């Protein structure tokens, strides 16, 4: 059974880990979740922005695993399409990552990436997020959509965050009622993130390699989300 298990130590800064072990041995097996945990640096109490995230971050944080202990960050990849009265569309993209002890990535998006919406512009925003919003972030999204009628938001999530909690389930339903489209990332969506938001070596695009249980976990979370939103 798939479920979200956030690390209890999220409030304390994690010790940085280098891309190689201290004795100089390379840790290049990125398919091993335990080794990935060793490779990932967790900058404490800050929001990080950029255009493309490191490969090891994607492989660890976006994996739609059955148990997600240790994944105490949210990674949010976004595409913003702004269409003015003339019909011309301007698009921008990037990603945010957070520490759960500080501002969450969903909150940071509205504070830093899209702090204000021009009422004369129509905004279509797509998020690809490692896990679904917590109750507080869901409420922020609902408030923003309520006062910004020219904003359309689609959220695709790799995992459901604490989906068994009644307050989280209620928050997800409020998102739907507010007009936010919410769905689980399919294998094709993970591939899209890999191609468009993950660093590629020397400008060459390496093919996405799905993990073994990617389809099984997608179907599980899709069923759980459908039950919550019905």
Active-site positions read 106
Half-sphere exposure of residue 83: CA atoms within 13 angstroms, side-chain side: 8
Contacts with 90 (C-beta within 8 Å, 6 or more apart), sequence order: 81, 82, 83, 84
Cβ atoms of 80 and 93 closer than 8 Å: yes
Phi, psi values for residue 20, rounded to 5°? -130, 155
Rounded to whole angstroms, the Cα distance separating 10 from 15 reads 12
Picking from 196, 194, 105, the residue whose alpha carbon sits closest to that of residue 155 is: 105
Helix (H) or strand (E) run with residue 147 in it: helix 135-147
* DSSP strand pairing (122-131 vs 151-159): parallel
Cβ atoms of 50 and 94 closer than 8 Å: yes
Dihedral sign for Cα 218, 224, 228, 230, please.
Answer: positive
Rounded to whole angstroms, the Cα distance separating 23 from 35 reads 15
């Amino acid at each position: 059974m798939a479920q979200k298990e956030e690390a209890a130590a999220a409030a304390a800064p994690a010790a940085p880990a280098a891309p190689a072990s201290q004795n100089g041995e390379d840790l290049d097996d990125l398919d091993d979740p335990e080794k990935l945990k060793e490779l990932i640096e967790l900058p404490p109490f800050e929001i990080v922005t950029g255009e493309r995230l490191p490969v090891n971050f994607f492989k660890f944080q976006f994996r739609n695993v059955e148990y997600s202990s240790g994944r105490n960050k949210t990674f949010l990849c976004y595409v913003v399409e702004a269409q003015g009265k003339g019909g011309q569309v301007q698009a921008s993209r990037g990603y945010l990552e957070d520490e759960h002890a500080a501002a969450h990535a969903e909150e940071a998006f509205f504070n830093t990436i899209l702090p204000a919406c021009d009422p004369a512009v129509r905004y279509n925003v797509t998020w690809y997020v490692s896990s679904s919003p917590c109750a507080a972030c869901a409420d922020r999204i609902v408030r923003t959509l309520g006062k910004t009628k020219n904003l359309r938001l689609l959220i695709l999530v790799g995992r459901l965050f604490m989906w068994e909690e009644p307050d989280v389930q209620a928050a997800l339903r409020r998102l739907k009622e507010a007009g936010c489209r919410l769905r689980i990332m399919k294998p094709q969506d993970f591939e899209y993130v890999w191609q468009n938001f993950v660093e590629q070596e020397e400008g060459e695009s390496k093919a996405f390699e799905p993990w073994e249980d990617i389809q099984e976990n997608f179907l599980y979370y899709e069923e759980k989300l459908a039950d919550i939103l019905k």
